[in-house]
């Protein structure tokens, strides 16, 4: 029993970081109906930023958040403004975004491999292998800090969405784009900001996973596959769903890994994806999609 609780604790800690990664992805889909296949590659790019800030000036990965968050917010604004308005009026907008972001992912992966090679990297902060003992339970320090940081950032996102004027506009656009337009929301502006926020969350995730998981450019395919499974489970476009999906699947993957061995752990995500599509295709907190 103690052992199972230990596995669940580790799963929840990881789940917090997964939730941070997934929330950016689901926000982009919710506000703009963009399926951002490049989300993973931007997370890896942020890992490299954290890595070189650690190698060079010796910044702790948590300090690198001060760079990755604003930097990826800006990259998001530029990428959105440069590419997405061109396909905005398309009747197949979401399908177009899949192709467009797939292309972005390939190009960015190539560029990362060209500049940073395909070698496995990781940041090595001093607390990386430390652990805190609480009673019988052991809590890895790095994962604990990462989870706390994720929670703080997600609370920040929540406060932004529920207590600011722009946040109201973002939620309004998520719930009904036309309705947002007719009450005076500039949806182009809101979309640009939301894409920037999604990317800022990807940047933050990069700083955090730079010491949790070794990375190399092509690693992003594995991440995007897991993230898509998480947000489909939670319901595409639902932030609550992304957080719950991330926590549930991280814990499940932990249990599977513990019982059947780590090789089976990635299967958890795709098995869950398969099941949810069979049983409840709109996801836990999703709504039946409106076609058109």
**Interface with other proteins (CB under 8 A):** 89, 91, 165, 168-169, 171-172, 175-176, 178-179, 181-186, 188, 292
Task: Pick between residue 108 and residue 174 the one whose CB is nearest to other proteins.
Answer: 174
Q: Smallest gap, in angstroms, from Cβ of residue 166 to other proteins?
A: 11
Q: Which two tokens stand for residue 156?
A: 């920040």
Backbone phi and psi for residue 119, each to the nearest 5 degrees, phi listed first: -65, 140
Task: Pick between residue 56 and residue 184 the one whose CB is nearest to other proteins.
Answer: 184
Q: Smallest gap, in angstroms, from Cβ of residue 185 to other proteins?
A: 6
Residues 79 and 195 sit within 8 Å (Cβ to Cβ): yes
Q: Smallest gap, in angstroms, from Cβ of residue 170 to other proteins?
A: 12
How far is residue 151's CA from residue 257's CA, in Å, rounded to a whole number?
A: 24
Q: Which residues pair with 131 in a beta bridge?
A: 140
Q: E strand or H helix at 182, and its extent?
A: helix 177-182
Q: Smallest gap, in angstroms, from Cβ of residue 284 to other proteins?
A: 15
- Give the other-Cβ count within 10 Å of 49's Cβ: 19
Task: Pick between residue 69 and residue 161 the one whose CB is nearest to other proteins.
Answer: 161
Q: With CA atoms as reference, report the closest residue to 283 among 230, 247, 246.
A: 230
Task: Pick between residue 200 and residue 243 the one whose CB is nearest to other proteins.
Answer: 243
Q: E strand or H helix at 80, and its extent?
A: helix 65-83
133: helix, strand or coil: strand
Task: Pick between residue 92 and residue 280 the one whose CB is nearest to other proteins.
Answer: 92
Q: Smallest gap, in angstroms, from Cβ of residue 291 to other proteins?
A: 11
Q: Is the dihedral of CA 196, 202, 206, 207 positive or negative?
A: positive
């Amino acid at each position: 029993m103690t052992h199972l609780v230990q596995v669940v604790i580790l799963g929840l800690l990881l789940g917090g970081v997964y939730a941070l990664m997934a929330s950016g992805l689901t926000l982009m889909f919710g506000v703009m109906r963009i399926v951002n296949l490049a989300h993973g590659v931007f997370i890896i790019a942020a890992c490299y930023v954290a890595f070189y800030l650690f190698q060079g000036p010796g910044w702790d990965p948590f300090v690198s958040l001060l760079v990755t968050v604003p930097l990826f917010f800006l990259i998001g604004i530029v990428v959105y403004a440069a590419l997405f308005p061109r396909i905005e009026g398309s009747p197949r907008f979401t399908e177009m975004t899949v192709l467009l972001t797939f292309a972005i992912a390939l190009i960015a992966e190539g560029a990362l491999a060209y500049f940073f090679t395909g070698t496995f990297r990781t940041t090595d902060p001093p607390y990386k292998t430390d652990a805190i003992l609480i009673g019988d339970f052991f809590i890895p320090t790095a994962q604990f800090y990462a989870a706390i940081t994720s929670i703080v950032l997600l609370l920040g996102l929540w406060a932004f969405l529920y207590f600011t004027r722009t946040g109201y506009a973002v939620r309004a656009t998520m719930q009904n784009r036309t309705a947002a337009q007719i009450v005076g929301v500039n949806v182009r502006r809101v979309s640009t900001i939301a894409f920037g926020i999604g990317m800022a969350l990807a940047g933050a995730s990069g700083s955090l996973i730079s010491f949790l998981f070794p990375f190399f450019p092509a690693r992003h395919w594995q991440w995007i596959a897991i993230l898509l499974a998480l947000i489909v489970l939670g319901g595409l476009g639902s932030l609550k769903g992304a957080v719950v999906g991330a926590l549930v699947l991280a814990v499940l993957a932990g249990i599977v890994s513990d019982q059947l061995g780590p090789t089976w752990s990635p299967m958890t995500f795709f098995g869950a994806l398969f099941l949810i599509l069979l049983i409840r295709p709109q996801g836990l907190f999703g709504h039946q999609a409106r076609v058109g």
